[in-house]
Amino acid sequence: MVRYIIRRVLWGALMLLVVSALTFVIFYLLPSGDPAQIRAGRYASPARIAQVRHQLGLDRPVYYQFWLYMKGLFLHFDLGTSFKTNLPVSDEIIRRLPVTFSLAIGSVIIWMAIGIPIGVISAIRSRSWLDRSTMTGSLVAISAPVYWLGLIALFLFSKDLGMFKLFGGSGSYVPFSEDPAGWFSSLVLPWFVLAAAFAAFYARMVRGNLIETMSEDYIRTARAKGLSERRVIFRHGLRAALTPVVTMAGLDIGALLGGAVLTETVFNIPGVGRLAYDSIVGSDLPMIQGTVLFGAFFIISANLIVDILYAFLDPRVRY
Amino acid sequence: MSSLLEIRDLHVHFSTRDGVVRAVEGARLSVDRGRTLGIVGESGSGKSVTALTVMGLTRLPNASISGEIEFDGVDLVTLPDAQMRSVRGRRIAMIFQDPLSSLHPLFKVGWQIVEAIQAHENVSKKAARERAIEALREVGIPSPEKRIDSYPHELSGGMRQRVMIAMALVLKPDVLIADEPTTALDVTVQAQILDLIRHLKDEYQTAVVMITHDLGVIAELADEVAVMYAGRVMERTSRHELFTVPELPYTWGLMRSIPRLDAPRPGRLDSIAGLPPSLIHLPPGCPFHPRCPYVMDVCLQDEPELEQSEGDHLVACHLPIAERRQIGRDLQDRQN
């Protein structure tokens, strides 16, 4: 087990290296604004631009820039400084992490609380009108794009431009430590919008898993023991059906901690996803690198945690 | 005087998209304390459905069940679900074909046995655990106080089936239904498991219903035998009678298709020509007539009733009794 974890951590580090190399390559291959030009301002002279380019180290060859970046990263955990704000990238990201955490965790709770019960009920009442209508509804929720759903939610329920002025609208985010009620109000709509597709997806997954599990031989055994149907479903059926759901949830949470770009952009929430979006628009390479690396780090960690967790959830799994 | 478990005129139909599946048609069976009833037949002959119906496990929305299953004076067909549940597992227990898939893979075997006890008796976890260990010891599992904390995948196939048997017998049920309990096991383990079932039956005077497609298991264990085909009981008699004077052409086919070690090696193994009929579109008349080498005109029209032949031997066949007994006796003489 320990050897397995060590091996996985080393692989994870290698993955991060590959990810940042790819980010570098993509940044220089794809057409984007010239960071030096953007930094120097619209009416800067060519000399000024060249000076900025030299300051940022952009006149060095790409591989040398990458080497410097990696050296800083591995020797000092230094993600560099933003081209745009001149602030350390890691400070900027860490400052925004609580925001993204707030969004992700609330959303996870909502989609689990909605998705799992719906999935269970649909599985138990499979093929009933209730099952059919919730499964059709879930297809709609999965298909609805977040930016569309987000705008609908704002037009319906936000305090500034909604028909029913219930919750904070776009850009209303305040930290929990400053104003808990305001924090909550500002996140209700993003939570639900972000959770919608996940809830639908999880409902379908739970339903499918549970239906499959309920046809297993060991469910027949559980019934033959004279257990109540309730116990057969919730203790024997759900225990097996939820194991893959836990795996999935771990991966999804990992991905969300890297920033929910669309949701954060639509609701103008100052999280990591929004930061990533802004840095791409502003050709801010160190910031892009930082956000991508953080995202990759969360996904890789989530994968590892889920795999370790799996050994506890399913005794047949051994490493 | 009726037996402990008596099935009369049992019909089990399932409506499906393709039509009505007549899984069991008018089955008549009985078994008493300390006796073993063997039910033999191919897949789809209705033997498992009969067993599951006794357990009340075929009460599905698309099922229609009629007839009587009299158990200790109570009709299980009409028994309300809640009361059926207290019979199931406590008074009638069942073990299944594949012990690996029949045990929950994510729970320890001890937990699963304890759960079975606590489903029916108000005992502490500790007391239930003691009994579970005792039950494991009784079915011949070495160092049961350690094995009780094993997961099913950590045990061998034979040990798993012993766990299933321990779980089924821990509440000392009156009836044990064993649905092909040895099919998924190695041959040497099969014999051990059959020995164990016989031993426990004698010890506790349990009535055993042994479902199998293997006449070898029947020869080993059964007191009475019922041969099922297409959801019907077609022949019913004692084991001795069945193996000396089988009277049903279908049973002859089963007997002929047993490979023998001592006989000269035939070019190929005998088998019954054709396939079992669809339970949705049964042939008219005798359901076996399309595959029967002795088929007569009457077999195409009329379905034979299960009628008394000699002594307690019941047979559903249009062939004259004397002729049937002659052919059956000749067949067994040649085989023995």
| Strands across the sheet containing B36-40 | B92-95, B175-179, B207-212, B36-40, B224-229, B232-238, B314-315, B307-308
Residue A118 near residue A131, CB atoms below 8 Å: no
* Cβ contact B102–A220 (<8 Å): yes
Report, in angstroms and rounded to the nearest whole number, the Rg of chain B calculated over CA atoms: 21
* Better-predicted residue by pLDDT, B230 or B184: B230
Percent helix / strand / coil, chain B, rounded to 5: 40, 20, 40
pLDDT of B267 reads 60
Phi then psi dihedrals of residue A87, to 5 deg: -95, 155
Percent of chain A topping pLDDT 90: 66
**Chain B closest-CA separation from residue A231 CA (Å):** 10
- Nearest CA to B219 out of B261, B247, B191 is that of B191
In this structure, which CATH number among 1.10.10.10, 3.20.20.60, 1.10.3720.10, 3.40.50.720 belongs to the domain A90-313? 1.10.3720.10
Q: For the segment B151-174, what is each residue's pLDDT rounded down to a tens digit?
A: 999 999 999 999 999 999 999 999
Q: For the segment A233-284, what is each residue's pLDDT rounded down to a tens digit?
A: 999 999 999 999 998 999 999 999 988 999 999 999 999 999 999 998 888 8
One-letter identity of residue A31: P
d(C-alpha B333, C-alpha B65), whole Å: 41
**Chain A closest-CA separation from residue B162 CA (Å):** 14
Token representation of residue A83: 């081209």
d(C-alpha B43, C-alpha B230), whole Å: 9
Please calculate the CA angle B144-B148-B152 and round it to the nearest 5 degrees: 115
Residue B143 half-sphere exposure toward CB, CA atoms < 13 A: 5
Confidence at B336, pLDDT banded by 50, 70, 90: low
Examine the pLDDT at A33 and tell me if it is beyond 80: no
Token representation of residue B183: 């099919």
Q: Which residues of A touch B101 (CB under 8 A)?
A: 216-218
pLDDT of A35 reads 81
Q: CATH 3.40.50.300 spans which residues of chain B? A: 5-228
Instruction: Write the DSSP assignment of B191-208 as a string of letters.
Output: HHHHHHHHHHHHHHT-EE
Q: For the segment A173-195, what is each residue's pLDDT rounded down to a tens digit?
A: 999 999 999 999 999 999 999 99
Q: For the segment B26-69, what is each residue's pLDDT rounded down to a tens digit?
A: 999 999 999 999 999 988 899 999 999 999 999 999 999 999 99
Q: For the segment B4-33, what is each residue's pLDDT rounded down to a tens digit?
A: 999 999 999 999 999 999 999 999 999 999
Confidence at B264, pLDDT banded by 50, 70, 90: low
Q: CB of B54 within 8 Å of any CB in chain A?
A: no
For residue A140, the SS3 value is: helix
**Chain A closest-CA separation from residue B2 CA (Å):** 25
List the single residue in A217, A228, A315 with the smallest CB-CB distance to B85: A228
Token representation of residue B78: 């009409």
Q: CB of B261 within 8 Å of any CB in chain A?
A: no
For residue B82, the SS3 value is: helix
Examine the pLDDT at B268 and tell me if it is beyond 80: no
pLDDT of B203 reads 94
Q: How many CB pairs under 8 A join A and B?
A: 67
pLDDT of A268 reads 93
Examine the pLDDT at B136 and tell me if it is beyond 60: yes
Q: CATH 1.10.3720.10 spans which residues of chain A? A: 90-313
* Cβ contact A216–B101 (<8 Å): yes
Query: B5-228: what CATH class?
Result: alpha beta
Token representation of residue B311: 């002594």
Which residue is associated with the tokens 């001149």? A86
Phi then psi dihedrals of residue B64, to 5 deg: -125, 125
Strand partners, B40: B212, B227
Q: Which residues of A touch B88 (CB under 8 A)?
A: 223-226
Q: Are strands B314-315 and B232-238 parallel, antiparallel or unpaired?
A: antiparallel
B47 dihedral zone (left: phi>0; alpha: psi -120 to 50; beta): alpha
